[in-house]
Amino acid sequence: MSKTTIPLDAVDHSWVRRTPAAVQPYLRLMRLDRPIGSWLLFWPCVFGLALGAALEHRDFLAHANDWWLLFLFAAGTLVMRGAGCTYNDIVDRKIDAAVERTRGRPIPSGAVSVWEAVAFLVVQCFVGLLILLLLNPFAMMVGALSLLLVGAYPFMKRITWWPQAWLGLTFNWGVLLGCAAMADRLPLSAYMIYAAGLCWTLGYDTIYALQDIEDDALVGVKSTARLFGTAEAPKWIAVFFAVMLVLFGAGGLMAHLGLPFLLVLVVAGGHLVWQVRTLKPTNPRNCLRLFRANRDTGLLLALALIVAGWAL
């Protein structure tokens, strides 16, 4: 296979394609040609930061330190998502080679060797550590705990039909980390928003997994998409999104966020209803488009917390 093979789910006209050829495989290893994963990891961090500011009874982004934390979390998102994807690709290299959508990734395509990927992983983890050390001690402890989830995630698809749930636990850890960094504590409202994020991930990653349902069955990889099947998946996705909205709303109300929070949350709910109603489980392009639409869902959920915090 050509070492310049482009993954099927990469973004068209990505800036990555305009970088030097020697660099491109490493940028793809970080999934920088597919930014949706970074957005889905970043928004929970914003949830946590905005919630932490509301708990401290002050406007989020009204202080220079808020912008500094936002920058650190944005940088940390890119680096640690890249590290997680690199680690995942090292572990899953044989499975990726057997799946049409993923066989063009750097390791199975031969663009990057396993040892080169390991060295790149170490560099990314070191940069992530430097960023973590800039947070308060409590946040550093919370951040370190996330490594247990990250380390186990690639193996979940081999042992459980619910790897999307483990991804939810991992991808939404930023809620807890952001709140810890901003407020130096984790009240019940933070855990409610974290649980909401878990349900959100169950929904959007089931949509994502529908793309691979046939290939996953051939190689023996488990997923909620395979568990539910294309006929029942939309119903389950609707349930996950509905529970997410209830938990997110409960978390906001626990933090004493009022009408502005609920109004923006209703808009986010409408966006999720649109996803469920337009989902075509047997159409991979449709599934990918709706999966990517969750970038906008995350923006709306973040705005619900930010705007409501400003109104306190």
- The two structure tokens encoding residue 76: 């940390």
Cβ–Cβ under 8 Å, residues 134 and 79: no
Here the CATH number for the domain that contains residue 157 is: 1.10.357.140
Cβ–Cβ under 8 Å, residues 238 and 290: no
User: Is residue 4 assigned to a domain?
Assistant: no
User: Is residue 9 assigned to a domain?
Assistant: no
- pLDDT tens string, the chain, 312 residues long: the values are 334 445 455 555 678 888 898 899 999 999 999 999 999 999 999 999 999 999 998 889 988 999 999 999 999 999 999 999 999 999 988 888 877 778 889 999 899 999 999 999 999 999 999 999 999 999 999 999 999 999 999 899 889 999 999 999 999 999 999 999 999 999 999 999 999 999 999 999 999 999 989 888 888 889 999 999 999 999 999 999 999 999 999 999 999 998 999 999 999 999 999 999 999 999 999 999 999 999 999 999 999 999 987 766
User: Is residue 286 assigned to a domain?
Assistant: yes
Say which DSSP state 2 is in. Answer: -
User: Is residue 3 assigned to a domain?
Assistant: no
- Predicted pLDDT at 171: 96
CA distance 213 to 269: 27
- Predicted pLDDT at 32: 92
Q: List the end-to-end C-alpha distance of the chain, in Å, as a whole number.
A: 57
Task: Count how many domains the chain has.
Answer: 1
- Predicted pLDDT at 36: 95
User: Is residue 38 assigned to a domain?
Assistant: yes
User: Is residue 2 assigned to a domain?
Assistant: no
Residue type, 149: L
Whole-prediction pTM: 0.92
- Predicted pLDDT at 310: 78
Cβ–Cβ under 8 Å, residues 29 and 120: yes
User: Is residue 237 assigned to a domain?
Assistant: yes
Backbone angles phi, psi at 94, to 5 degrees: -75, -40
What is the domain range of residue 26? 20-310
User: Is residue 15 assigned to a domain?
Assistant: no
